[in-house]
């Protein structure tokens, strides 16, 4: 008889917070100001898709990228709001 090889897959349960992090990263990937951030985001998403999980260091990078995007988005919204207020004050008088 031939020996039988059994492949065992180890599933790592990830928290909802982590899976949500990947989903959020997928939504903002390609929208970063720096091309290197976009490339890195797509790389992390690809690794997650391929392996089903990321290392703790990679999860930290996901968090850092999301924080950077949120900060950038907040700054953009602040500038837009300021610009709108200036426009309104200029044309309301």
Q: How confident is the model at residue 72 (pLDDT cuts 50, 70, 90)?
A: confident
How far, in Å, CA of 63 to CA of 8, rounded?
Answer: 31
How far, in Å, CA of 44 to CA of 3, rounded?
Answer: 38
In DSSP notation, 26-67 reads HHHTT--SSHHHHHHHHHHHHHHHHHS---HHHHHHHHHHHH
pLDDT higher than 80, residue 24 = yes
The answer to whether residue 82 is domain-embedded is yes
Tokens, residue 54: 């990321």
- pLDDT at res. 87: 65
pLDDT higher than 60, residue 12 = no
- pLDDT at res. 14: 46
Q: How confident is the model at residue 91 (pLDDT cuts 50, 70, 90)?
A: low
| pTM confidence score | 0.64
Could you list the residue range(s) of the whole structural domain that residue 60 is in? 16-92
Structural domains counted in the chain: 1
The answer to whether residue 59 is domain-embedded is yes
pLDDT higher than 70, residue 5 = no
């Amino acid at each position: 008889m031939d020996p039988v090889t059994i492949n065992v897959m180890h599933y790592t349960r990830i928290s909802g917070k982590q899976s949500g992090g990947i989903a959020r990263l997928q939504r903002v990937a390609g929208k970063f100001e720096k091309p290197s951030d976009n490339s890195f985001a797509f790389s992390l998403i690809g690794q997650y898709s391929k392996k089903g999980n990321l290392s703790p260091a990679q999860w930290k990078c996901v968090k850092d990228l999301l924080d950077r995007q949120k900060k950038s988005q907040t700054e953009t919204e602040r500038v837009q709001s300021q610009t709108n207020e200036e426009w309104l004050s200029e044309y309301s008088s």
